[in-house]
Amino acid sequence: MRLALDTNILVYAEGINGEARQAAALQVLSRLPRATTFIPVQVLGELFRVLAGKSPFSPKVAQARIADWQASFPLIETSPSILSSAIDLAVQHKVRIWDAVILAAAAEAGCRLLLSEDLQDGFTWSGVTVVNPFAEKKHELLAGILEP
């Protein structure tokens, strides 16, 4: 099963929101299958903005961290069709455009789940369900992946 990661998962993994969130994010990430877990390019742009602007990281260190993430998981590039789908999503469901780009990218890549704490848990669009990986009660599909 394919799944995609939202920005906040990577932000937490970088330790931006404290050690507890970092530990939780790293635990989730360590159990995900590398070959079928994707990062939309939009996520890396947002992560760079956070790391270089809202953290103690210098832009050069933030750049290196982005390169590390690029090497860790396959990427989903933003295409004209993803942008068009994202605009439709933003108009129809009042989703912020940059969140819509991430969700549309996940859909185009054939992902079943988008792991995100920021988007509405359980929202399903074009075959992709938004799942909060930190929720006490795990989504059935995610629980199957994360179980040891």
Q: Domains in the chain, ordered, with CATH?
A: 3-146 (3.40.50.1010)
| Residue 148 clears pLDDT 80, i.e. is over it | no
pLDDT digits (tens, 9 = 90+) for 18-29: 999 999 999 999
pLDDT digits (tens, 9 = 90+) for 52-87: 997 789 999 999 999 999 999 999 999 999 999 999
Which comes out higher in pLDDT, residue 147 or 62?
62
- Give Cβ neighbours of residue 14 (< 8 Å, ≥ 6 apart): 22, 47, 51, 55, 57, 65
Sheet-wide strand order for 3-5: 75-76, 37-40, 3-5, 113-115, 128-131, 124-125
